[in-house]
A and B are shown apart, each in its own frame.
Chain A
Amino acid sequence: MTVTDSQKMAYVAAQAADARVNLQFETEDGMTLNMGPQHPATHGTLRIVAQLDGEQVVRCEPIPGYMHRGYEKLCEVRTYPQVTTLINRIDWLGSFANEVPFILAAEKLMDVEAPPRAQVIRTILFELSRLGNISLFLGDLGIQLGGITIGFYAFRDREFVLNQIEAATGGRFHPNFDRIGGLKDDLPKGWIAETHRAMDRMRRLCDEFEELVLGNEIFQARTRGIGVIPADIATSYGMSGANLRATGVDWDLRRDACPPGLSYDLADWKVWTHPDGDSYARTWVRLQEVRESTHIVDQLLDSIPAGPIMAKVPRIIKVPEGEAWVATENPLGEMGYYVVSKGDLVPFRVKIRSASFNNISVVPWVTRGVFVPDVITIMASLYFILGDIDR
């Protein structure tokens, strides 16, 4: 196949576009460091262009978009069950959590309420996906900073959570289990007892992390005081989730603005905040959140009401006209869906507000004047998933 002229022009244009970014930096003092899309320290294909003065960063810009899959355009030509399948893959580590706000928005438009049993099991699976996601953060943070051991422990203990998700839904990473009006299927026998055991395992991982990583002097030196984000900067940049709670803002969507359809009021739990706002605070808050999640799951497992798993919904889902915004406290932060429907089989417009997109918008502000290894620490502690940024 010969290369056509337009393909040649496109290639040259791509090179020029890349060079434009580098050329801008080269004319000023300092060196440009391009941590390109393929880099083990970025959680996926994120490109970080940093202008350096010696070892210090003068200006740092994250360039997302290398993983843009056109989700919002795709959602306009897919039926609601097909959209549920697709949106599993936005934040692929806590993928049940991606389905929930979309299903809740569709349920809001259809005026359907899931039965209590489905709501509690939905909340349990939501928390399990949070455990799967944040436990990988705990392991990955160690790997980014050079302490690879905790990565192995995290993956080993995460398997128990993933096995439980697989036992209930059939898929370890992409459950595709939430349906408008309830859940696809009920829990298999023995699931509750086995999940209690998995929660014990997760608490053991938290204790090991605390001893192995948090107490380590090198870790403390690399994370205390690094990447401090004050509370007002965090709110003005739209940050959410553990990043916001680590700056001292006491805000958790599960407690403060929980959409109807989830059962967090059945459990007795608390929200963890830390006043410092540095990388250590973000790690500490996430660790406590994992522990709190295990307690929430334990409490909810013991209070699953009997009943049907699915409300009466028509076979072919046609959502009535309207628009709805629903946001939930996903593992990465606040994830929201703005669903506009025209009464068809397919949604008219789905806007996916992903937490990581706003969480990394603070990177140019927070990386002024830090050293190059600190850039890695800050990116690791802010914790984003590329699928969440680019969609």
Chain B
Amino acid sequence: MKRENPKKKVKITEKILNIFRRSKTLRVHTYLLPSWIWYILFFLAPIGLLFVYSFWRMEDVFLIREFTTQNYVNIFTYREGMYVRLLGKTILMAGAITIGAVGLGYPVAYYISMRMEKHKYSALFLLMGPYLVNYLLILYAWRIILEPSGILNYVLVTIGLPRQEWFLWNWWTVIFMDVAAWSPWLVFPMFASLEKMEKTLLEAAADLGANPRQAFMRVTLPLSMPGILVATLFVLIPSIGEYATADLVGGSGGITYPVPIENYFHKALQWPLGSAMSFLMLIVILIMVSILLRKVSLEQIMESL
């Protein structure tokens, strides 16, 4: 009897090892354990916490831990769907910011990649310049310029034109500032995918009778699409959730969906409603990302980076 015991122990460890030997998925996820811990600790857990909050409710200053879907209903019904309209407006603004910033960044990326030889990398370095300064600082600087009593108006009045009140506190101010803030950054992924393109492909296109415009449409543009999509993701996702610009230069005209969220958390002590609104935003973003990713595979995107 005594002799059989160690044998049994061996069998148990063997059994555990065999489970690992048999399942490749299990092995892979064992290797990924550190990543999983990071992912759970810093992303899933806090988000999960918010998710739970979004099904609770507040009574005065007390959190009532009882399940309710009232928060989600409230988002859609509050003031005849004001928040849904606000979310729609925010998405439209994010779309405009994306088109503006990608549209501005692409020609720059194209020029640096295709036309510049010597100073290619110095040019790219210069594009990082704006990010050496805190974005809030830039926003405040622009407030000084755009204010009704600001520099721009001072110039206008000096040369005899009427003072303009609409520069600040508008949705277009938010779009303008975000486009300006994002476009240099977006040059990088688009530059990368243009650089990756074999330049003889353009000669091949010309050789087969394509004029420069046709060559661009049929070769350069499709081959730089992964870079364009990465740039789109880079700007679209954050500009839906972007709060600082709207708060500092947007005013009431440029208010976006995250502004009331911040208010609910920060000022109104309405964490459950704020959480629910955040989750709705997350879902909208996930839907948009999955639509974009359908156009191009993840592999293509990662390769272009």
Chain B associates with chain A: no
